Structure 1
Amino acid sequence: MMTTVTNDLTIGDLRAAIAAGWADFRACPAFGLFFAAIYIAAGLLLYYALFVRAEAAWLVPAAAGFPLLAPFAAVGLYEVSRRREAGLPMKWGPVLGALRGHDDGQILTMGVIVFVAFAFWIGIAHGIFAIFMAQSGVGSQSLALFGTATGIAMLVVGGAAGALMALALFSITVISLPMLVDREVDFITAIIASLATIRSNRFVLLAWAIIVAVSLFAAIVPLFLGLLVVLPVLGHATWHLYRRSVH
């Protein structure tokens, strides 16, 4: 099957995708709440474990990088939107089985890439933390570092590094993951289509990346509870943006 990507996305398409994502969530809220709850539980367990152990050196990087896992967490939501669009019955079996893709391991391979990227980010962020911590003289288990000039500089450097990595991961997953749910293609083909869509619609998809990042971080602040709505809506919206982008 030949794949072509559009080069005429507009901000209006982003609004339409969000509206369609909201409609999908309202029509099938149980699925969205289920996947969001799993994502939230994983985040809370991670932060609780690090907080109890007073591992400030790992807590902040984990908090900053956790949204990197959101695209893979939304795979089931892509299947919900696909089935609703096609008029297929909403059954838990096919939706939960979306991670298997077309039984070819392509989605799981993308999942490995996402988790490796998350682990790589944790290592980079911890290295940045260690460098600035050594300059500050503040103990490794203390969060007081973030109130110093050195801490602020560390956040600027770490934020820039994190933004670049998040943009790279966004570029290879924003179209590829919904495409792997939708079509029988290999993950390399899906990544190429994702990068081509980014290249052809830089401004609009950069705006989408900012919307996703800001929404996820804002939703995380109130004990992750905002993710119960934000994650499903963004997941469904990404599906509709994929459908608008790829022919």
Structure 2
Amino acid sequence: MNAIEQDPALPLPPPQVAEDLVLGDLGRALAAGWRDFLAMPQFGIFFGGFYVLAGLAMGGAAIAGGEPTWLIPAMAGFPLVAPFVAVGLYEASRRREAGEAPSWRAVLGALKGHGDDQILSMGVIVFVAFSFWMIVAHAIFAVFMAESGMGGESVAALLTPAGLTMLAVGSAVGAVMAFAFYAMTVISLPMLVERKVDFLTAIIASFKVVRTNLFVMLAWAAIIAAVLFAAMIPAFLGLMVALPVLGHATWHLYRGAIA
């Protein structure tokens, strides 16, 4: 057997995690992500457009339902689903890096993973996490706004003392939940695209990368949050570019974090 081949009967070795990431790696990942976006914009615009349409539909539903304030927790939870939406972008970057021609069939089929439903299992986790965040946000809203007599139909309710307190508490709780979810998915989803591993192995590797490179990965989380938030302000339209660039860049950061 060739020395570089893996005997399918043997278990795969555990992923080797880099422990020496530096801030410069983030800049290089972003530059590589930008190059990938320019080289194959059709995939980025497709997935970014899907995200934009979802955001507009969500906003329209909140306004039509007479509760525009619910746009805030929904927008705050939007980045939770971004890693799953970007799975196709990871595959596009993987193929370009390997010198393979990206195709719509391969990119759209990336959600199937290696035919073992591991990525789809992560998708279920993503959906549950977003749903759980919305339940928590609803509970926080109920606790702080019930006595004010103002409901979600008025944005002015957010400027009351109760509203400002609610925003502060909700932001703190949301930040903790978002970082935990980020640590779980930032490396695991690209790994599931590239390697035939189970999602628990991928999640453990993702947490390890974040733990051993905490400052750099915190910086990457801050960059993602800031860019996505800024991109959502102009009617979500900035996500058409921000999401694909960050998706491609995350692939390249993963490649530097996992040997």
1:9 equivalent in alignment to 2:24 = no
Q: CA RMSD in A?
A: 1.0
Indicate the residue corresponding to 2:256 in structure 1: 244
Task: Work out which of the residue numbers 32, 54, 64 in structure 2 matches 1:20.
Answer: 32
Q: Which runs of 5+ in 2 are unaligned?
A: 1-11
Indicate the residue corresponding to 1:158 in structure 2: 170
CA distance in 2, matches of 1:90, 1:121: 35
1:118 equivalent in alignment to 2:135 = no
CA contact (8 A) 1:57 1:129 kept: no
1:95 equivalent in alignment to 2:107 = yes
1:172 equivalent in alignment to 2:184 = yes
The structure-2 alpha-carbon separation of the partners of 1:208 and 1:140, relative to structure 1 and needing over 3 Å to count, comes to: closer
CA distance in 2, matches of 1:40, 1:168: 25
1:133-148 matches, within 5 Å, as 133-148=145-160
CA distance in 1, matches of 2:202, 2:152: 42
CA distance in 2, matches of 1:56, 1:26: 36
AA partner of residue 112 (structure 2): R
Indicate the residue corresponding to 1:73 in structure 2: 85
TM-score by length of 1: 0.98
Identity of aligned residues (%): 61
CA distance in 2, matches of 1:200, 1:158: 28
Could you list the per-position Cα deviations for residues 29-74 of structure 1 after superposition, in whole angstroms to 9, with x for gaps in the alignment? 0100000001111111111112111124633321221121111110
CA contact (8 A) 1:57 1:126 kept: no
Could you list the per-position Cα deviations for residues 178-202 of structure 1 after superposition, in whole angstroms to 9, with x for gaps in the alignment? 0000000000000000001011100
AA partner of residue 169 (structure 1): F
CA distance in 1, matches of 2:23, 2:63: 40
CA distance in 2, matches of 1:44, 1:116: 21
Could you list the per-position Cα deviations for residues 104-139 of structure 1 after superposition, in whole angstroms to 9, with x for gaps in the alignment? 000000011011000000000011011111132223
AA partner of residue 154 (structure 1): M
TM-score by length of 2: 0.93
Task: Work out which of the residue numbers 234, 239, 252 in structure 2 matches 1:222.
Answer: 234
CA distance in 2, matches of 1:148, 1:200: 42
- Match of 2:50, SS state, is helix
AA partner of residue 216 (structure 1): L
CA distance in 2, matches of 1:20, 1:149: 45
Higher-Rg structure is 2
The structure-2 alpha-carbon separation of the partners of 1:140 and 1:219, relative to structure 1 and needing over 3 Å to count, comes to: closer
Q: Which runs of 5+ in 1 are unaligned?
A: none
Count matched residues.
247
CA contact (8 A) 2:59 2:68 kept: no
Indicate the residue corresponding to 2:195 in structure 1: 183
